[in-house]
Structure 1
Amino acid sequence: GTATGGAAGGSTAAPSGAATGGAAAGGAGTAGAAGGGAAGGAVPAAASSVKVGQSATVDFADKTSKVATKLEITVTGVEVGSVQDFTAAKISIVGLEGRTPVYVSYTIKNVGDASLSFTAPDSKFVVFDTAGKKGLNVMTAATPLPKCTGAKFQGVTKGAETKGCTIISIPGNTPAAVGYTDLADPLKLQASWTK
């Protein structure tokens, strides 16, 4: 039921992405060149493109614990944060200078047969800015950021779900899309979410 309308949503995402890129002082012009001709803002095409709030099913494999399963992921929110959020929580901002933190809220439901153990399926999230540049994961394991705390995945069995938030910093000011990377090729996306 939730997958329907993904195609329609995906087709409308490209023009709005281009429009926001254009507002960022000629950002759209450089986006096409940087992305190698990807339509609308250089975000790689995904096998499943849906809107924020809709779910997509992806494959997940954890090489360490030799777990392979299917996950139903719903990106429930994409919020632009600030470096002040980190300084207020007394968390180091090394590596965040000149970058924009983005808080990606999600629900992950295990729809496969294998239980999750010490896995981190949230580490496969990526965020692209309007110029198509990929963000970097921000690790706050020692001191979690109150506004955006990761989920616990240990013991998430078939049919169970967990909610959390991951932090990704982008070079630009505006997130264009959230993606979930491919198992074999981190440059490819299994799924993407746009507003």
Structure 2
Amino acid sequence: MRRTAYGAIGLAVTGVLALSGCQNGDDKGGGGTASNPPASGSAQPAQPSASAPAADGGTAKAGQSFKIGQPAQIPFSSGKTKGTIALTVTSIDQGQASDLAQFKLGDQAKGKVPYYVRYSVKNVGTTDLSFASVGHMKGLLGDGTEAQDLMFISKFDKCPTNTLPSGFTNGRTQTSCAVALAPSSATQVTSAEYWGDPFTLGQGIYWK
């Protein structure tokens, strides 16, 4: 995996989900093995540009910040599939620690609170994006540092991760969700970053 200046965060949980830390702008897939978490404080805060204006029909730029509910038009690529999408973080919802009980994570999730970053994808280009996956959505804590990801292999009804359906042509919309873990009930996930190609982690586009 191509590494950035941000530390890898994560543990693998066999057959269920992974606490993910892949910093890979070319990896559009789901599961896989993540590395051990770094020492506390090793990850640097992401710094979205508070002064970046919202896109008004144009293409969003790296570092640009949007309000939750506001769409950002961006180029999209997944393997050989390329197109243009309007991506919108629609909400960031706090869950309960008990939401994860079914996965028997034990100490890996002890004291941590899940947040659900919900977003929509609209095809605004001319390419059929059937079966592509629009991932690389990350929750950020109040101080701008990365929240820990949960990457599911099995189905999680509270936060379904959806690939784009067959016939995903111009005008069609799909919803999806990403899970982020806050380290305690006193810390909140307050914003989100999309860092898929052509962006990179810490230099993506933001919603808050």
Question: What is the rounded CA distance, in whole Å, between the counterparts of 2:204 and 2:44 in structure 1?
Answer: 21
1:105 aligns with 2:105: no
**1:157 — aligned with what?**
169
Equivalent residue, structure 2, for 1:69: 83
Q: Does 1:58 align with 2:74?
A: yes
Structure ranking higher in helix proportion: 1
CA 1:48 to 1:96, structure 2 compared with 1: closer, same or farther past 3 Å? same
* Paired residue secondary structure (2:200): coil
Aligned partners of 2:66 and 2:207 also within 8 Å: yes
What does 1:43-192 align with in structure 2 at a 5 Å threshold?
43-45=47-49, 46-63=62-79, 66-87=80-101, 90-93=102-105, 95-121=108-134, 123-144=135-156, 146-155=157-166, 156-171=168-183, 173-192=187-206
* Deviation for aligned residue 1:185: 4.8
Residue identity opposite 1:70 in structure 2:
T
Aligned to 2:152, the other structure's residue is in SS state coil
The 10-residue stretch of structure 1 (69-78 or 47-56) with the greater mean CA deviation from structure 2: 47-56
Q: Deviations over 1:85-140 (max 9, x none)?
A: 121xx23436433433110111110112222233220x211111012221233123
SS in 1 for 2:76: strand
Counterpart code for 2:164 = F
Cα root mean square deviation, aligned: 2.5
- Deviation of 1:59 after TM superposition, in Å, equals 1.9
Preserved contact between residue 83 and residue 93 of structure 1 (Cα < 8 Å): no
The TM-score normalised by the length of structure 2 is 0.63
Flag the 1:74–1:98 CA change in 2: closer, same or farther, 3 A. Answer: same
User: Percent identity of the aligned residues?
Assistant: 26
Corresponding residue number in structure 2 for 1:15: none
Q: Relative to 1, partners in 2 of residues 1:190 and 1:111: Cα closer, same or farther, differing over 3 Å?
A: farther
Q: 1:191 to 1:47 in 2, by over 3 A?
A: same
Gaps of 5+ in 2: 1-40, 50-61
Residues in 1 aligned to 2:95 and 2:47: alpha-carbon distance in whole angstroms: 21
- Unaligned residue ranges in structure 1 (runs of 5+): 1-30, 36-41
Matches of 1:119 and 1:168, distance apart in 2 = 22
- Runs of 4+ aligned residues of structure 1 deviating over 6 Å after TM superposition are none
**Displacement, 1:168?**
2.0
User: What is the CA-CA distance between 1:34 and the residue it aligns to?
Assistant: 4.2
The residue matched to 1:138 in structure 2 has which SS?
Answer: strand
